[in-house]
Amino acid sequence: MKTSGTIPFQFLIIFLFASLTPASGQISTPGLPASLFKNLPADSFPTYKIIAPDTEQLLHEDAFTDKYGIAMRFAQNQPTHINLAKEGLWQQLGDGSQVCRLAIKSVGAQALILYYSNFEIPAGAELFLYDEQQRQIAGAFTSTNNRNGGAFATQMICGATTIIEYFQPAGISERPNIVIDEVGYVYRTAETFYGTRGFGGSGICEVNVACPEGALWQQQAKGVARIIVKQGNSSVWCSGSLLNNTLLDLTPWLLTADHCGPNASQSDLDQWVFYFKYQSPGCENPTSDSAFRFYTIVGATKVASAGGAGFKSDFKLLLLNEAVPDEYDPYYNGWSAEETPSPEGVTIHHPQGDIKKISTYSVPLISDNWGSTPETHWRVTWAETVTNWGVTEGGSSGSPLFNPGGLIVGQLTGGNASCSQQSAPDYYGKFSYSWDKGDTLPEHQLKPWLDPDNMGVLALEGITDIAETKNTATNLVIFPNPNNGIVFIKLNEQNNSQVEIEVLDIAGRIIYQKIENTSSTQIAALDLRHLEHGIYFIKINQGNGATAVGKLILRGYK
């Protein structure tokens, strides 16, 4: 189910680490289907009908599971086998290019999700999906989306019919290998407006993240994602957040709840869809999300988890199958593994799969438990704020709970809070428990993945991969690194000018300063043996106004 001010220094340093994570394309690239401008007949291709599930029975089951440690189901996945190249209608155009189209229809569906067992597109070709009126168009999907394992998924298309259109330029003879083996029949959370896919489904008390309550949390919000979780024959809504790690290397770790797809296979995980930046531009609810651009990533691997909703802290740590593109403006949220109860803070989430919301707590968290294991969860009670009284709902599962410093201290398991019970408590699995208290196995802890060098860090600020690099040099040499306290820095000659050397901690605070005359030496020596082991940054303010920044890993002198 279910600040924090930013540190300007971070924008100066993060470019140093962005290059450590390989770039990867987003789920789709700009483009339009050929049928929009080639004057092709609209109904000259086959339609494959998918049997609708018993939605009355599904809704009856859902009434007993929402918000009680069982993620919010909104779609039933119906098996099929459709090979686009073999079963679609091929048409050759005047320039020698070809178009292949087919439609998939399931009567009564609010929207459809296509799941693929094979997804291989020849280089130069393009694939699009759209509704009957072509008001929602997904794509172009290209060879950059090909998957070695074959499993793939595409974003929800509104309405009961989805049209698939493949375009192949002249000179390409290879056929696509695109096989659809399941169709997600969306039977709830997409009924409010045309073009909705969870949009507008949350309770009237919820608060958009663009409202005044979110003014200090815009960085943290960039790391929160809406997730279509596939497990077997069901698809459910959940929320989650990107996480920073002590290597500061922008590895796309994502935290959610373990009860979000607790038994999902790797094939299922390869078809999870993560939506970033799915939010209103203003405090007021927009009337539709049809004009939204969708920033999505498909697929992940589970690396660690601790129990389901009733066991331990209910966390799941995922590694996304691809890096988050720069244009998504991602933020890798910081975290705290300390046990101290947070006095106040917020959660940022996607209730009912809706646009991003924010809920506020103003009294200290209480240590509690959800299942039989004691001290695994934080109990939180939501507060009324200037805009409304935000809570959580089905679809908020896995959403991050932040302390006043903007650090994640837990992820949502469940609870009784709702727009009709705003004072009822919710329960978040403790980050501190998930860190290393579940057991000794790495696959049941966060620590081995988020502190891989075992530096002993218990709190880490978030970072972004969008850097302000103006007037910034990148050739600062620090050695040895990692280091035990005696640090050497190679300086560039600055025409007999002096340079200022600053050492900053992970929070951006200056903890050491020194002036060095570059006319007398090209190597500066620092004695940092008095500092605790951890991550630090060395910043050189040069005489011409430029700066250079480097990361130092301090092992500790003792």
Neighbour tally for 232: CB within 10 Å: 12
Whether residues 3 and 19 share a domain: the answer is yes
Return d(Cα 419, Cα 393) in angstroms, integer.
Answer: 9
Closest CA to 196 of 111, 129, 123, 116: 111
- Nearest-angstrom CA–CA distance, 415 and 2: 7
201 within domain boundaries? no
* Same domain membership, residue 234 and residue 86: no
Indicate if 478 and 462 belong to the same structural domain.
no
Q: Are residues 81 and 14 in the same domain?
A: no
Q: Are residues 230 and 87 in the same domain?
A: no
Q: Is residue 508 part of a domain?
A: yes
Is 497 an annotated catalytic residue?
no
Specify if 194 maps to a domain.
no
Both 227 and 163 in one domain: the answer is no
Q: From residue 395, give the alpha-carbon distance in Å to each of 71, 413, 423, 470.
A: 7, 11, 19, 41
Q: Find the catalytic residue in 268, 314, 354, 451.
A: 314
Our answer to whether residue 265 is catalytic in this structure is no
Asked if residue 478 lies in contact with residue 538, where contact means CB atoms within 8 angstroms, the answer is: yes
173: domain CATH number is 2.60.120
Residue 529 placed within a domain: yes
Q: What is the largest CA-CA distance in the chain?
A: 82
Cβ-in-10-Å burial (0-12, 13-18, 19+) of 171 comes to: exposed
Q: How big is the CA angle at 145 (ends 139 and 151), to the nearest 5 degrees?
A: 110
DSSP summary character for residue 70: B
Residues 6, 45 within the same domain: no
pLDDT of residue 366: 98
d(CA 303, CA 312): 17
Whole-number pLDDT of residue 65: 67
Please check whether residues 231 and 325 belong to one and the same domain. Answer: yes
**What DSSP element (H or E) covers 427?**
strand 426-430
- pLDDT score, position 4: 32
Rounded to whole angstroms, the Cα distance separating 263 from 318 reads 14
Q: Could you say which of 447, 469, 491 is where a domain stops?
A: 469
Q: Identify the domain boundary among 119, 154, 186.
A: 186
| Averages of pLDDT over each 10 residues, the chain, 558 residues | 39 35 48 83 85 92 69 91 96 91 95 95 95 88 85 91 96 94 87 48 92 95 96 92 91 96 93 94 79 84 85 94 92 94 97 95 96 92 97 95 96 94 96 94 96 87 59 60 79 67 82 78 81 84 76 66
Residue 410 within a domain? yes
Q: Are residues 42 and 26 in the same domain?
A: no
CA 198 to chain CA mean position, Å: 17
pLDDT at 293: 76
Q: Is 270 a catalytic residue?
A: no
**Bridge partner list, 111:** 158, 186
Measured between alpha carbons, how far is 259 from 286 in angstroms, rounded to an integer?
A: 31
| CATH label of the domain that carries residue 334 | 2.40.10.10
Answer yes or no: do 400 and 498 share one domain.
Answer: no
Identified catalytic residue from 28, 35, 106, 397? 397
CATH code of 525's domain: 2.60.40.3080
Residues 500 and 548 sit within 8 Å (Cβ to Cβ): no
Q: 426-430 and 331-332 as β-strands: parallel, antiparallel, unpaired?
A: unpaired
| pLDDT of 229 | 95
Residue 199 lies in a domain: no
- Report which of 311, 308, 337, 167 is spatially closest to residue 243, judged by C-alpha positions: 337
218 shares a domain with 96: no
Q: Is residue 233 part of a domain?
A: yes
Number of domains in the chain: 3
- Strand 547-554 to 472-473 pairing: parallel
Distances (CA, A) of 90 to 86, 100, 101, 126, 244: 9, 4, 7, 14, 47
Alpha helices in 233-306 (DSSP H): 266-269
User: Is 192 part of a structural domain of the chain?
Assistant: no
As a whole number of angstroms, the distance between CA 402 and CA 342 comes to 8
Are residues 253 and 284 part of one domain? yes
Q: Which domain holds residue 487?
A: 471-554
- Identify which of 498, 265, 353 has the alpha carbon closest to the alpha carbon of residue 2: 353
**Among 424, 441, 469, which residue terminates a domain?**
469
What is the reported pLDDT for 23?
A: 29
The residues that bridge with 400 in the sheet, in sequence order, are 411
